Structure 1
Amino acid sequence: MKEKSSYTPIAISVQKLSPTLKKLRKFLLSFLGMIFLIGTVALAVAIYFFIFYNLPSPASLKDYRAVPLSSQIFDRNGKLLYEVYREQNRTRIKIATLPSYVSQASIAIEDKDYYRHGGISVIGGILRAAKDTITTQKLQGGSTITQQLVKSALLTSERTIQRKIKEIILATWAEKIYSKNEILEMYLNQVPYGGSSYGIEQASQTYFGKPAEKLTIAQAALLAGLPQAPSLYSPYFNPDLALARRNEVLKKMLEQKYISVSLQKTALNTPLSVIPPKTNIKAPHFVFYVKSLLEEEYGTQQVEEGGLKITTTLDMDLQQEAEQIIKEEIDKIRNLNVTNGAVLVTRPPTGEILAMIGSDDYFASPSGAYNVTTAFRQPGSSIKPINYAIGIDRGLVTAASILLDVKTCFSAPGQPKAYCPRNYDGVFHGPVGVRYALASSYNIPAVKMLAMNTVTDFVASSSAFTITSLKDPQNYGLSLTLGGGEIPMVEMAQAYSALANRGKPKKLRAVLKIEDKLGKTLFEFKDPNFIKDIKQPLSTPNYFAMTGKNAISEDAAFIVSHILQDNGARVAAFGSNSQLVIKDKSVSVKTGTTDDLRDNWTIGYTPDFLTAVWVGNNDFTPMNPYLVSGITGAAPIWNRIMTVILQDQPDIPPVKTAKVVGARVCTDTGYIAGKDGSGNFNCPTRFEYLIQGKEQGSSIKVVRQEVPVTKDSGKLADPGTPETEMKEKTVLKDQFGMYCVDCAHDAQPTPRP
């Protein structure tokens, strides 16, 4: 018998909606539907106007004719320096006439997936560009060859999401209309290769004087690397970067199996060998320096085709005089293996570049267009004022402090051999004040100064002087103060501007005003110390109006500037009537020559003007040792240019600051002199400027003690010297060593006032 189920059905009661609620629900659904419909329509309209309105058709690519407007570059007084790309020089060619490696070079460096995508490369381009945009906070590229074509021919170069979306749509559209070979042919005929050269045929004629069908693999690789940044990779203006870029293209061609290893090796060993440019350009190094800056800010297309009017800081009259001077002076010393020179003239209060000469002849082959003012060169002793300025500002030394110029060797962790610097003249000068050590450019005291500052702190402090080339302190040793690091002239000029500007460095400025083709002002430089006519008599700059942070105190800047203009302090090394003296003018100046004789500098300034000069060889071959006197080579060029600049200017010496005081100091210790009971100084004295609160500086000790001396000569004996005896002597001690005052010496120290 079956048991009865215990399951009992549960009854669920569903209450019907009232008529009122039904009406409300119907109204809400209708309302939401209407909102959705309106939103959809609005979004569609927005997308249309944001992206598709006035969207050009890629069908016009083959018939597209750009009408570029030349941009004009003027000096500060309205003199035309250069018309940037008056027209696009373009000769169209058929891709079938070119060797296969010409187009393959462009594919290798610009778009390795060219034959595998439909206009855009999602993984290789868009995702990478999106990542870079997020990490750098700037809209980045990631363009295929097709995208570059439509951007160059149909769109503007503005970096916006709207333009990028249009570019992607047009690239995809173009791939539906044209074959890959047609797109590649249009690309090679369209893109810029630098200057007025548009299209690879004109580029081949410009750089090599031959049709594109006769290009070698090395030449094709060079041209393929240009469209990404024609000015940056220009073989005329940046041959080192152009060579590196060409070699990168060859590497990509090998990786993608377009060329063999043997063909790559042959091409890598081929020099650039471009023909000289033909143009009526004035101040060419400066013009292309400006053009490169503008391209970074506005893009290549806007600069080349946008009809901009650019007024620069350059004074063409001064530029031409400086060009003549440097040519004449370099010609005088070519027999001493000096083939090149460079000049940079600036206004420290504003950072304006008044003259820039990157070589003595821009059009000289093979590397006259190489701009030494922006190249990395060793500054030699011209870096010493920065080293001493840091030490004086930190209170480690004063201008009166005594440094022992004696044989000193410095050991460093991990270095098996000690560093033992020598002076240029091969002489140890004994106890020497900081004023005389810096003015006469003695090496051993400068190395001691850097040891007190430490290399790490010096590199960190140099960045405040706007020197950005010195990166990791571990890459340098104590020879850094003798010019052991490479620094461009433009950075040296900025660093010295801190000394001229009471401690405030000014970054260099090349542009005063930029107007677009409609006359709208895009940029205008304004500064309380700006004076258009630099030939009129100038007065002391308004230091209080200067903006920016101090690299050092105004007090330390004054003292270093005063030392560098003190002809008496440098007379022992340079004589009383050297090329560092400008008659009747107070000018602070420092020379510099590297130990390997590859770089020779002179940098000098007043409160209103600064001139930096370099001579040497672009290929780093050493000069004749005769030039290493410190006052030949660069110094005569500097003297002539500064004489021209200052001839109608009043003498404006650096103004003593409130915290700088004058005092009598002991010549043997550098301490402030005391007086005996009769009111007389208790030591031989001289006058010196000191900073209140930092009068002490480094300590030098004067003691009587027994020291080992040689029996035959009475000289202080080195460790391990035979035939010595202990005698009580007067000894000066610093933290690095000692000097025996009343011992015999090979060469007596130069007398000091």
Structure 2
Amino acid sequence: MNHFLGLIRKTIIFTLLLSVAIVIGALYYMEYELPDIDALNTVQLQVPLQIYTQDGKLIATFGEKRRVPVPYDKIPKPLIEAVLATEDQRYFQHNGVDIQGLGRAALQLVMTGKKLQGGSTITMQVARSFYLTRHKTFGRKLREILLAIKIEHKLKKEKILELYLNKVFLGNRAYGVGAAAEVYYGKHLSELTIDQYAMLAGLPKAPSTLNPLANPEAAKKRRDHVLARMHEQGYIDDATYKKAIEAPLDASYHDLQTEVKAPYVAELVREQLEQMYGDSIYTDGFRVYTTILSRLQNIANVSVRDNLLAYDQRHGYRGASQNMGIPSIDNMDDWEKELRKIPVLNGLEPAAVVEMTTKSITVLRSNGDLTIIPWSGLSWARKQVNADYLGPRPKQPNQIVKLGDVVRIMPTTHGNYQLAQVPKAEAGLVALNPQNGAILSMVGGFDFQNSKFNRITSANRQPGSSFKPFVYSAALEKGFTLATVINDAPIVIEQADNSLWRPQNESHKFYGPTRLRTAIIESRNLVSIRLLALMGMPYTVDYLKRFGFMGSQLPPGLSLALGTALVTPLQMAQAYAIFANGGLKVVPYIIDNIRNSQDQVIYQARPLIACTKNCSKDTAVAPRVISAQNAFLITSALHDVIERGTAKRAKNIGRTDLAGKTGTTQNQVDAWFAGYSPDIVAVAWVGFDYNQSLHEYGAQAALPMWMQFIESALKGKAERMIEQPPGIVSIRIDPITGKRASANDPAALFEYFMLPHVPEKENMTEDTVPSYMEHDQASDSLY
């Protein structure tokens, strides 16, 4: 007996020592072998990149996971109660491990031989999601338990629950309850009802199969189970339970709602960020605030769309994209499905013609609605015979469409719909602040979904006459004046291939001796060519680099005077900003600041500022590239382009502080208008992606777009003329000779001059033109 008692005593001591050793070993393992969980205090959840306007409107989100982190104190109490009732009802009582839950799981395993329950607490799920795999093994379960205990010793319960609710996958790319509220209900988390909270709380069990989009019946059953648990545990009373259990399953997929349409901006910013930070931008929760102003971006969107559609309609209807056959009741469902496969492009919706009368058509839309298009929405559609000719005006719908035709429709301002078509031509518009280069709006094409090519930043096109102001600026720097007279007469130049180039004005007329101001206003090609010849190519090309143009963009012949350089609309906007701000070169930029997930500014733009007086010592002053006097004179001439020149249509805006220049390239391939006030520069371009004639000039195709934008952009702003700088004088001249006029000359008019170049008795002539022309003839390669 003594031996037996001694054996029991030794066994008990050994068991105690073994237990102590196991505990010590577990503690050692937890301390030194398990991952360090201190990082959970500052964990960086994968949050997508978000891009905003300068005034805080969402432009775009980039990233595979949708997540909207919500701090614990902002998570609604009913949602917390729903989660606890379903996932871990003793959460605030246990130390990370629920012994009862583990006991149930173990019993289930013994009885069935299957791992049907894991007995995991919320803390254990946090341990698993941050540090472990989802493979069901005993080793993983042990590590999960040990990690949960360690986490509970380091973090507060509220922090652990916050991590769980923001990390958990809830189906349809939604990670965390904040994102799930947006995906399934299109609302902020705080706006949901009890039944909707219960829906979200039931998803962690099987988010891919129990969500209301994949399996509505199973989702409702799971929701009702959560509500029942909440009722049993006293979180909701009888009335609330009854109302919630009877609520319909109103979940549906809600895509991320952007507030401003600016896809070309978003893509440009994304590319720049990827170069700066790499692929981490898609997961690190960056918020980027651009220089874009939402009001101006919305105006630019409408201006490009309206005017490109108007251009397209002026050139006739090209016909339906396809025909689906004869409509009948039996095939309407199939037609709807086919229409849903066709994307809506910039508000142009696909529809199929199902009925016609003598003055209207009825179309089936992708949502199943039948919409009547009245004759007023059809009568514009003259058939496009070819690029130069339109057919006769239609008199009834059957001359335009056939039954079964798949067409595009768009809403009108009167609440009706009209026939439309996706334009083949493209357009772009960019506006920037000439005082610091901030890009205020950018539209790079008709529809980003249809073409992701950004014509503002990437399309190298000939600017035509909109390039002439830079050539004239070079002339003023060389000593010419706006009163200098140059002969507008025929020129014949032998080119390198021995062919002859005979440039002409757009009117195909010659106007004789012409002052430079008049040549700019009327866009006289021959005067521009002779002026470039007088200055010489090397000087002019070198001078043009001041505006940001590279030598490789500038052709080495006299055609440069007509705008045969290859430039982007953004480059043109930057160059025109130099005139608008009085001669200083700012650099266009689109990212104002970048913030990390903790709302700390990690990047802040430091743009060059067009500052000429009272500049602070911290200001990065933009370099002066032309004199203020030169900029003033060019602006004065470009102001007259609007007042009485090729852009006089813009006088209808009713402002006197605008200046600009039209541009049309050879064969009307490109149409431009570049214009500005001291507050804003805007450049509009219209053309085809492949060199094809628009059959319209810049004043017809591009100017109306610019006018629509600038009129709305400057609405309510006081007029602000460019200031006349020192060193500029106004003198009466003879309008024919450009020489100083006598005080009593009734035909005299005033002209501005730089003080060093005030005309005395003689004015510059073109006596030396022939020698320059002879010098350039052999080397020029024109057109």
- TM-score band by shorter chain is 0.5 to 0.7
In structure 2, the residue matched to 1:305 is: 283
C-alpha contact (below 8 Å) 1:285/1:357 kept by paired residues? yes
Among all aligned residue pairs of Structure 1 and Structure 2, give the percentage whose two residues are the same amino acid: 25
One-letter code of the match for 1:689? Answer: Y
After TM superposition, the structure 1 stretch with the greater mean CA deviation from structure 2, 449-458 or 477-486, is 449-458
C-alpha contact (below 8 Å) 2:437/2:607 kept by paired residues? no
1:509 aligns with 2:592: no
Instruction: Using the TM superposition, give the Cα deviation of residue 279 of structure 1 relative to its aligned residue in structure 2, in angstroms.
Output: 8.0
Structure 1 unmatched ranges of 5 or more = 1-56, 58-65, 90-195, 197-277, 531-539, 703-731, 739-753
Question: Counterparts in 2 of 1:167-178, with a 5 A limit?
Answer: none
Q: TM-score, normalised to structure 1's length? A: 0.53
1:344 aligns with 2:439: no
Distance 1:693 1:586, change over 3 A: same
Q: TM-score, normalised to structure 2's length? A: 0.51
Q: String of CA shifts for 1:159-181, please: whole Å, max 9, x gaps.
A: xxxxxxxxxxxxxxxxxxxxxxx
In structure 2, the residue matched to 1:423 is: 505
1:286 aligns with 2:265: yes
Question: Counterparts in 2 of 1:619-638, with a 5 A limit?
Answer: 619-624=690-695, 627-628=696-697, 630-638=698-706
One-letter code of the match for 2:442? Answer: M
SS in 1 for 2:653: coil
1:83 aligns with 2:166: no
SS in 2 for 1:386: helix
Query: What is the number of equivalent residue pairs in this alignment?
Result: 435
In structure 1, the residue matched to 2:621 is: 547
Q: Take 2:764 and 2:431, find their aligned partners in 1: how far apart are those partners?
A: 44
Of 560, 572, 580, which residue of structure 2 is paired with 1:492? 572
Distance 1:660 1:410, change over 3 A: farther
Distance 1:371 1:302, change over 3 A: farther
SS in 2 for 1:631: helix
Question: Counterparts in 2 of 1:31-110, with a 5 A limit?
Answer: 68-87=46-65
One-letter code of the match for 1:355? Answer: S
Distance 1:433 1:279, change over 3 A: farther
Q: String of CA shifts for 1:369-393, please: whole Å, max 9, x gaps.
A: 4434431111111100011011112
Of 514, 517, 526, which residue of structure 2 is paired with 1:432? 514
C-alpha contact (below 8 Å) 1:700/1:733 kept by paired residues? no
Instruction: Using the TM superposition, give the Cα deviation of residue 519 of structure 1 relative to its aligned residue in structure 2, in angstroms.
Output: 2.8
Distance 1:515 1:569, change over 3 A: closer
Instruction: Using the TM superposition, give the Cα deviation of residue 464 of structure 1 relative to its aligned residue in structure 2, in angstroms.
Output: 1.4
One-letter code of the match for 2:472? Answer: Y
C-alpha contact (below 8 Å) 1:580/1:589 kept by paired residues? no
SS in 1 for 2:662: strand
C-alpha contact (below 8 Å) 2:583/2:628 kept by paired residues? yes
C-alpha contact (below 8 Å) 1:476/1:484 kept by paired residues? no
After TM superposition, the structure 1 stretch with the greater mean CA deviation from structure 2, 306-315 or 449-458, is 449-458
C-alpha contact (below 8 Å) 1:594/1:600 kept by paired residues? yes
Instruction: Using the TM superposition, give the Cα deviation of residue 698 of structure 1 relative to its aligned residue in structure 2, in angstroms.
Output: 13
Q: String of CA shifts for 1:234-282, please: whole Å, max 9, x gaps.
A: xxxxxxxxxxxxxxxxxxxxxxxxxxxxxxxxxxxxxxxxxxxx98663
Instruction: Using the TM superposition, give the Cα deviation of residue 284 of structure 1 relative to its aligned residue in structure 2, in angstroms.
Output: 0.4
Q: Give the superposed CA RMSD.
A: 3.5
Question: Counterparts in 2 of 1:79-478, with a 5 A limit?
Answer: 79-87=57-65, 282-299=261-278, 301-335=279-313, 336=315, 339-364=425-450, 367=451, 369-395=453-479, 397-411=480-494, 414=496, 416-468=498-550, 470-471=551-552, 475-478=555-558
One-letter code of the match for 1:509? Answer: Y
Of 630, 641, 646, which residue of structure 1 is paired with 2:709? 641
Distance 1:512 1:329, change over 3 A: same
SS in 1 for 2:667: coil
Instruction: Using the TM superposition, give the Cα deviation of residue 363 of structure 1 relative to its aligned residue in structure 2, in angstroms.
Output: 1.8
C-alpha contact (below 8 Å) 2:299/2:713 kept by paired residues? no
Q: Take 1:321 and 1:581, find their aligned partners in 2: how far apart are those partners?
A: 18
Q: Take 2:739 and 2:714, find their aligned partners in 1: how far apart are those partners?
A: 37
One-letter code of the match for 1:339? Answer: A
Q: String of CA shifts for 1:465-496, please: whole Å, max 9, x gaps.
A: 1123x4176x4311112121210111111110
Q: Take 1:452 and 1:581, find their aligned partners in 2: how far apart are those partners?
A: 37
Instruction: Using the TM superposition, give the Cα deviation of residue 329 of structure 1 relative to its aligned residue in structure 2, in angstroms.
Output: 1.4
1:582 aligns with 2:653: yes
One-letter code of the match for 1:554? Answer: A
In structure 2, the residue matched to 1:591 is: 662
In structure 1, the residue matched to 2:688 is: 617
1:735 aligns with 2:714: no
C-alpha contact (below 8 Å) 2:658/2:676 kept by paired residues? yes
Distance 1:87 1:595, change over 3 A: same
SS in 2 for 1:632: helix
In structure 2, the residue matched to 1:233 is: none
One-letter code of the match for 2:47? Answer: L
SS in 2 for 1:334: helix
Larger radius of gyration, structure 1 or 2? Answer: 2
Instruction: Using the TM superposition, give the Cα deviation of residue 692 of structure 1 relative to its aligned residue in structure 2, in angstroms.
Output: 0.6
SS in 1 for 2:602: strand
Instruction: Using the TM superposition, give the Cα deviation of residue 697 of structure 1 relative to its aligned residue in structure 2, in angstroms.
Output: 11
After TM superposition, the structure 1 stretch with the greater mean CA deviation from structure 2, 347-356 or 332-341, is 332-341
One-letter code of the match for 1:293? Answer: Q
C-alpha contact (below 8 Å) 2:493/2:502 kept by paired residues? yes
Distance 1:294 1:286, change over 3 A: same
C-alpha contact (below 8 Å) 1:541/1:607 kept by paired residues? no
Distance 1:426 1:554, change over 3 A: same
1:524 aligns with 2:524: no
Q: Take 2:256 and 2:726, find their aligned partners in 1: how far apart are those partners?
A: 54
Instruction: Using the TM superposition, give the Cα deviation of residue 428 of structure 1 relative to its aligned residue in structure 2, in angstroms.
Output: 0.5
Distance 1:423 1:513, change over 3 A: same
Instruction: Using the TM superposition, give the Cα deviation of residue 67 of structure 1 relative to its aligned residue in structure 2, in angstroms.
Output: 6.3
Q: String of CA shifts for 1:45-100, please: whole Å, max 9, x gaps.
A: xxxxxxxxxxxx9xxxxxxxx964312111001111111214299xxxxxxxxxxx
Q: String of CA shifts for 1:287-346, please: whole Å, max 9, x gaps.
A: 1111222222233x1322332111100012221122112211111111436622111011
Q: Take 1:486 and 1:638, find their aligned partners in 2: how far apart are those partners?
A: 21
Structure 2 unmatched ranges of 5 or more = 1-34, 36-43, 68-172, 174-254, 316-386, 388-423, 773-783
Instruction: Using the TM superposition, give the Cα deviation of residue 666 of structure 1 relative to its aligned residue in structure 2, in angstroms.
Output: 2.2
SS in 1 for 2:570: helix
Distance 1:433 1:331, change over 3 A: same
Q: Take 1:698 and 1:476, find their aligned partners in 2: how far apart are those partners?
A: 36
Q: String of CA shifts for 1:90-137, please: whole Å, max 9, x gaps.
A: xxxxxxxxxxxxxxxxxxxxxxxxxxxxxxxxxxxxxxxxxxxxxxxx
C-alpha contact (below 8 Å) 2:547/2:575 kept by paired residues? yes
Distance 1:346 1:437, change over 3 A: same
Q: Take 2:596 and 2:713, find their aligned partners in 1: how far apart are those partners?
A: 33
Distance 1:599 1:684, change over 3 A: same
Instruction: Using the TM superposition, give the Cα deviation of residue 561 of structure 1 relative to its aligned residue in structure 2, in angstroms.
Output: 0.3
SS in 2 for 1:354: strand
1:602 aligns with 2:673: yes
Instruction: Using the TM superposition, give the Cα deviation of residue 440 of structure 1 relative to its aligned residue in structure 2, in angstroms.
Output: 1.2
Distance 1:484 1:698, change over 3 A: farther
C-alpha contact (below 8 Å) 1:466/1:507 kept by paired residues? no
One-letter code of the match for 2:439? Answer: I
